[in-house]
Structure 1
Amino acid sequence: MYTSIEFASSSLSILLSLLSFSASSLAQNNNQGGDRSFQVHRQRLDDYWKPSPNRNSQHVLNLKGNRKGNPISAAYAKSLRQGSQVNGTYGYEEVDANELLGGKSYELVIDTGSSDTWLPRNTFQCAAVGTGDYLPQASCEFSDTYTPSASFTPIDNLNYHVTYTSGQALTGTFGTESVQVAGITVNDQQIAVVDNAQYSGDGITAGVLGLAFPADTKAFKGDDYRQDYAGTQQVYSPIFTSMYTEGNVAPLFSIALDRNSGGLLAIGGLPPVSYFPVFASSPFELLSTGDGTDQGVASLSSYTLYSITVQGFDYRGSNVSQWSYDNYPNPFGSPSDNTQVQTIVDTGVSLMFLPKGVADAVNALFTPRYSYVNSAGYYVISCNATAPTFGVKIGFETFYVNPKDMVVNIGSGTCVSGIAATGSNGASFLGQTFLKNVLAVFDVGAQMMRFAAREYY
């Protein structure tokens, strides 16, 4: 989904692209390798504010839908269900939007599953994913590059470093710039400028605008990214955190995705969409990451991603579905009862990824029956399949998914179910399949997600 952002003062005009939902970053960046996992903890931090009122915002960005074609990739789906990570970060999907930076517009991916705002420098070096062989800049398929403006101030002794499960990797530096997003100006905002990219872009977007928490930012002390590890992480305030801590807006943003045409992102309030005026809420949960030593600086002291517990799911036969160690995603541990599952709300995930026991049961209700792709965790179905009734229970409400969103066309005459299976070491996600049916309010101040049902469309 797309919209515009403006980096004022010699301003960097960022075209935010919310249609290409970006990377879901699930762990600290660590070049030491090894098996890394994450856990959700139900306690919440003590320092939080009252819920912000449900008022329409004047700061609204129009989002554009996915234009690249296949909304999922086998490698991405496999990484999610297996919990596999490369230096701690999951792969990503894409969503676009428009805004301003340095007097020039760019299209960026808007992502609730990562925290950094980054653009490729005009002199960046492109390299082949996996091999690192040098390639022409055009091979990385960024829609544009960034030339630092007169108001850009480099930050010394700090590097940017992120690696995705797909093998894509970015390194660079940081600086500050005056940034304007949806009419909200943040002076001296820290942004990342990519100097080296092993990247396969879409030719539509130029970078990412991350909306997750400060603890998930990828800034590391020193100039050599090869020396980065959890202990050298330098947490900073990403763009949305800067907006509300400076008093520009209320500490929340909200997203209403449309099935075909993108959607809306509202900062500091709600977008002008129709919704049922009853909200269900669920508190954020702490997400810790580590390699067994639990030495990550974020550990259990800060939120990283938008993690919540849902109370269960409504589908035919759900009352007899039972959790087990095999179909409930380790390392979360067993649920307190058989109706709950811990999930991450992420605009960067096109499908819903749920424990395999649930995914199998729901997908068995499609007519005609699915064929399961074990290597990827998703279910191939007929594009004319009849979808079952499926709802997600949050608080005291059940949010039903439109049957149109349960059948996802991935091109070439192939369709998959909107519900995929996570693996024994993977995460559960409420992705676009679910989010197209609700108004999702990310109330950071009150440390909770709020959801309202959208009008049937």
Structure 2
Amino acid sequence: MRLTRLTSPAAALGITVVAVTRATAFTRADTRVGFYDAVTPHYVAMDSHAVPSSHDLHVRRRDARIVVNGSSSLVNVHDVYYIIDLDMRGEKIPVTVDTGSSDTWVVKQPYECISLDWEHPERKPNCGLGDGLKGDLSGGVVANVSFGRAYVDGTFVSGYFGYEDVTLAGLTAKHQRLAIVNSTYWYGDGRTSGLLGLAYPYMTSLDGADASQPLYDPIFTTLWKDKLIDPVFSMALSRAADQTVKQPAADEGHETSYLAFGGLPPVSYDAASWARTPILPMSAINMDTQELGLYLIRAESFVYGQKGNLTTNGTAWPVLIDAGSTLSVLPRSLVDKLYAAFDPPAKYMSFNGLFYARCDAKVPEFGVTFGNRTFFFAKEDLLRQSARDPTGEYCRIGVTDGPDDGSNVLGVTFLSSVVAVFDIGLHEMRFASRVAY
């Protein structure tokens, strides 16, 4: 996840299914009806890039606090990224997809890669970014406005704003404001050259060299305001077992990961499982505003335990839906119960501050309830076989713990089991269970 540090005071930051491929409007009375639930022609297949656990640089110690500078998120263990290409004047720029931030930025050569390796200052820094944009911005630059973002994993980017036509999923955001990065401290994956932020415009004004700068419309906002799409996007993230995975072509089945604008992606899901829940204002994480900024929703309850012996935790917590976070982060009081439900129980690994269980452990059930429907994590996501300890005998748990203060995230380990709809027009999110794949 790449959630920005906020400057305002704040506290934080399967199910049995039947195969149904949707290409028409969904008409159940308890969900959104009409074109919002049709498969859109404006979707793009996403590549996933998996980083082996031994290469993880973003680790969060069990005793670390998530709050940084007033508000922040977890320090993410980035072992899976989802990537699409942005087209700028014919240049294909691969970027990481992130629902936990709003800015879109790309690097442009030459840029400064900053080293914070105080112990080995002689080492040449490597930010792990691609070549980025090669030409100049056709729309010019924004005068006297600097770009700067600091992220809670310690990374940061800085540069300037400019304008360019940006095309993705067959849609073009004309004269789109975006940032060009010319200086950064970054942990790159070696493939991407930037970040596509999909959160609300509110988040664009909360950081940077000028913390009071006016907000602006990110790419998704531009697309729906220009009436190119309805104000909704959706995604279906498919898990990848290999260290580096090129997703199959769109006609090879529903294992492809998709980002879709204006409707649903072309995947199979359980049509009877739709649930809806309101998007919460930033006050849900103790910010003094009713503005919508992030995709915050309320988890009504959680269930956990071995099959046939489930326990319900009825505490309702706000959670952030974030495709940029591999792991899900939930209150320690809940996650400790989940760890204990593995057979044998999960154990703490000091080498990176996370919990692991034996790779052949019996995995418990774990689900979250929205709109009176419970969505279960897949066993493959709860015990991640591709992320092992140095011995190779223990696998990482797909849920990690945070303080009981509202700093909660449902990341890729949750999103891999659902179709997620981000409906800006109705100020709600909707979920349906994916068909097992």
TM-score, normalised via structure 2 length: 0.81
Which of residues 421, 430, 436 is equivalent to 1:441? 421
Q: Which residue of 2 aligns with 1:311?
A: 300
CA distance in 1, matches of 2:45, 2:276: 25
Q: Which residue of 1 aligns with 2:320?
A: 344
AA aligned opposite 1:285: L
CA distance in 2, matches of 1:74, 1:123: 24
CA distance in 1, matches of 2:124, 2:91: 20
Which of residues 323, 327, 331 is equivalent to 1:355? 331
Q: Which residue of 2 aligns with 1:17?
A: none
Measured after TM superposition, the shift of residue 154 of structure 1 is: 0.5
CA distance in 2, matches of 1:218, 1:139: 29
What does 1:355-374 correspond to in 2, within 5 Å? 355-373=331-349
Identify if the C-alpha distance between structure 1 residues 448 and 77 changes in structure 2 by more than 3 Å, giving closer, same or farther.
Answer: farther
SS in 1 for 2:259: strand
Measured after TM superposition, the shift of residue 175 of structure 1 is: 0.6
CA distance in 2, matches of 1:86, 1:79: 19
Measured after TM superposition, the shift of residue 111 of structure 1 is: 0.4
Q: Which residue of 2 aligns with 1:266?
A: 260
Identify if the C-alpha distance between structure 1 residues 206 and 150 changes in structure 2 by more than 3 Å, giving closer, same or farther.
Answer: closer
What does 1:40-439 correspond to in 2, within 5 Å? 53-70=36-53, 73=56, 75-78=58-61, 82-85=65-68, 89-90=72-73, 91-92=75-76, 93=78, 94-129=81-116, 139-149=126-136, 151-217=138-204, 225=209, 228-229=210-211, 232-260=212-240, 261=247, 263-278=257-272, 279-288=274-283, 299-316=288-305, 319=311, 321=313, 338-373=314-349, 378-408=354-384, 409-411=386-388, 412=390, 413=392, 414-425=394-405, 427-439=407-419
AA aligned opposite 1:77: R
Identify if the C-alpha distance between structure 1 residues 67 and 220 changes in structure 2 by more than 3 Å, giving closer, same or farther.
Answer: closer
- Structure 1, residues 1-49: CA drift from partner, whole Å, max 9, x if none? xxxxxxxxxxxxxxxxxxxxx4023x4248xxxxx53369xxxxxxxx9
Measured after TM superposition, the shift of residue 455 of structure 1 is: 0.5
Q: Which residue of 2 aligns with 1:23?
A: 2
CA distance in 2, matches of 1:172, 1:80: 34
Question: Percent same amino acid at aligned positions?
Answer: 29
Measured after TM superposition, the shift of residue 65 of structure 1 is: 1.8
CA distance in 2, matches of 1:150, 1:350: 33
Measured after TM superposition, the shift of residue 233 of structure 1 is: 2.9
Question: Is the contact between residue 328 and residue 412 of structure 2 (CA under 8 Å) also seen in structure 1?
Answer: yes
Measured after TM superposition, the shift of residue 358 of structure 1 is: 1.2
- Structure 1, residues 411-455: CA drift from partner, whole Å, max 9, x if none? 442411122111244611111111111000011111011000110
CA distance in 2, matches of 1:132, 1:246: 51
Identify if the C-alpha distance between structure 1 residues 136 and 361 changes in structure 2 by more than 3 Å, giving closer, same or farther.
Answer: closer
Measured after TM superposition, the shift of residue 407 of structure 1 is: 0.5
CA distance in 2, matches of 1:133, 1:155: 37
Q: Which residue of 2 aligns with 1:45?
A: none
Question: Is the contact between residue 128 and residue 135 of structure 1 (CA under 8 Å) also seen in structure 2?
Answer: no
Which of residues 15, 20, 37 is equivalent to 2:10? 37
Question: Is the contact between residue 115 and residue 125 of structure 2 (CA under 8 Å) also seen in structure 1?
Answer: no
CA distance in 2, matches of 1:434, 1:247: 31
- Structure 1, residues 234-259: CA drift from partner, whole Å, max 9, x if none? 21000000000110001111111112
Identify if the C-alpha distance between structure 1 residues 85 and 209 changes in structure 2 by more than 3 Å, giving closer, same or farther.
Answer: same
Measured after TM superposition, the shift of residue 140 of structure 1 is: 1.8
Measured after TM superposition, the shift of residue 105 of structure 1 is: 0.8
- When the two chains are superposed, the root-mean-square deviation of aligned CA atoms in Å is 3.1
Where does structure 1 differ by over 6 angstroms across 4 or more consecutive aligned residues?
132-138, 374-377
Measured after TM superposition, the shift of residue 73 of structure 1 is: 4.8
- Structure 1, residues 273-297: CA drift from partner, whole Å, max 9, x if none? 001113101100111499x9x6xxx
CA distance in 2, matches of 1:137, 1:220: 29
Measured after TM superposition, the shift of residue 129 of structure 1 is: 3.3
Q: Which residue of 1 aligns with 2:19?
A: none
CA distance in 2, matches of 1:132, 1:302: 43
Question: Is the contact between residue 304 and residue 312 of structure 2 (CA under 8 Å) also seen in structure 1?
Answer: no
After alignment, is 125-134 or 263-272 more displaced? 125-134
Unaligned runs of 5+ in 1: 1-21, 31-35, 41-48, 322-337
AA aligned opposite 2:136: S
Q: Which residue of 2 aligns with 1:332?
A: none
SS in 1 for 2:270: coil
AA aligned opposite 1:398: T
Measured after TM superposition, the shift of residue 307 of structure 1 is: 0.3
AA aligned opposite 1:68: V
Identify if the C-alpha distance between structure 1 residues 29 and 177 changes in structure 2 by more than 3 Å, giving closer, same or farther.
Answer: farther
For this pair of structures, how many residues does the alignment match? Answer: 393
